[in-house]
Amino acid sequence: MVTIGIQFLYGLGALGLAIYGAQALWLSSRFLRSSTQESPVSPCPEPEHWPRVTVQLPIFNEQYVIERLIDACAQLNYPADRLQIQVLDDSTDETTAIVQQRAAWWRQQGIEVDLLHRTARTGYKAGALADALPHATGDFIAIFDADFVPPADFLKRTVSVFLRPHHRDVGFVQARWGHLNADYSVITRSQALALDGHFVVEQSARQAEGYPFGFNGSAGVWRRSCIEDRLVGGWHIDTLCEDLDLSYRAQLAGWQPLYLPQVEAPAEIPPQLLAFKRQQFRWAKGSVQTLKKLFRQVWRSDWRLAARLAATVHLGNYLIHPLLLLLLLVTLPLLILGIDPFWPLTYLSLVSLGPPLLYAIAQKRLHPRDWPRRWAYLPVLTLLGTGLCLNNSIAVWQALTNRETPFLRTPKFQVRVTEDRWQRSAYVLALEPLVLGELLLCLYACATIVVAILQQNWWTIPFLLIYAFGFGYMVAAGLWQAWTAGRRGEPETEDPSSTQKVQSRFSAVDFVKSRGR
């Protein structure tokens, strides 16, 4: 009975992974077949009167990048009398003073920059967005996280598509994320590879097929009437992915999404491994929270069956990590029982080509000349994805068991080239006890490899090596970065005023040159 149970768990894990591999294959094929993949929305003439737009910048302790963000938004090529910038600041350090100084300077230049400072982080980012909306004057709401630098033409290219007669039911527009520091390190290159796969292939394919997709939380514009629609319900604070939650509720209420892959907004990729893990933890937990919250609504909707299936797989994307962890944990008992654990995978080997193919297609589309060099970081991305199993499995478990945890932001360091250093930043994260669990899983995978060698079960060994190297990479990289930082990091609530100060890199000359209004 125990043997059957273990085999069932292994088969369940293998089947689950096959579903997500098949999804990657399908999205890749749909992207390649789509005739609208390059430019789903053709350019349109500028309107005689631009609508009023509010740009919201939700931030918390962002002393290194907040000036860069405010300056980029203030330089957006949009009529100044139709533009409002709201800085939604929950900071507890000197970020607030920097915002006050920068906002005052821009107001003197005729740009409306308002600071909305909260002393309590009620609802975190979703709470800040909800609290600020009554003070917004725009008919459209653009949102940028602190690590973004929107191009000057961003608003005109995105807002204009809302104004088309046949786009009156478009609730939100999402742009493609670019990267400010993709070449900074092996870790940032690997993250860029994953993000490009999502934004170039996945989002485009879902749109081409007419399936629901999510707002990514930044570099997008909302129609205000969509957010305030009674059937949509506005911003909710009951998930850590308020962006995914709102976008799905909007689509369930009949609003349409629009993805613009040709509009790029670059952002900073986390250079610290712990920052990346924190970001992934929040995305994993928030996605599963949204799946739990909206599962019944999705399946009771009038969407066609294929769309409901696609939505379920999309919202449950991070379930892949518990499945990966499950496969590792049950492999050793199967070997001890004399059962070949590799046989289910032999029938599913084809779908495992899905993710590598998806990433290759994305790089070929973005970088036709040097895409092989960029795609060559796939092995590192594979190790990162496998090494995240424990981190993201805990996040999924917390979501499934309704365990509440705070919204832990991803620290930004303003690094773009390898000479830039983040290790002495006030926001460096301390090494977490989770590294011990990753070390134990690395040793567990190694022990399983030894058993497989003794039993001459050679086909299982490559599968296990990915786990051993994946968890080993997490431990080694985490320890190395902690050592090079030379400190344990500081709590986010402490005032880092005694550390690095942020200097303004903006001048009046730059302002005159960049206005172009």
Provide the pairing of β-strand 140-143 with 220-223: antiparallel
Calpha distance 18→11 (Å, rounded): 10
Phi and psi (nearest 5°) for 338? 80, 25
Whether 340 is a known active-site residue: answer: no
Task: Yes or no: say if 169 and 256 are a contact pair by the CB < 8 Å rule.
Answer: yes
Of 71, 90, 93, 196, which one is the catalytic site residue? 90
Provide the pairing of β-strand 170-179 with 256-267: parallel
- E strands along 224-366, which residues? 256-267
How many CA atoms lie within 13 Å of 413's alpha carbon, on the beta-carbon side?
25
Whether 243 is a known active-site residue: answer: yes
Calpha distance 486→290 (Å, rounded): 38
Neighbours of 231 (CB within 10 A): 11
Provide the pairing of β-strand 256-267 with 140-143: unpaired
Nearest partner of 95 among 61, 53, 134, judged by Cα: 61
Of 71, 196, 243, 245, which one is the catalytic site residue? 243
Neighbours of 187 (CB within 10 A): 22
Phi and psi (nearest 5°) for 210? 80, 20
CA–centroid distance for 491 within its chain: 23
* Tokens describing residue 434: 């989770």
Task: Give residue 241's identity as a one-letter amino acid code.
Answer: C
**Catalytic residue set:** 90, 243
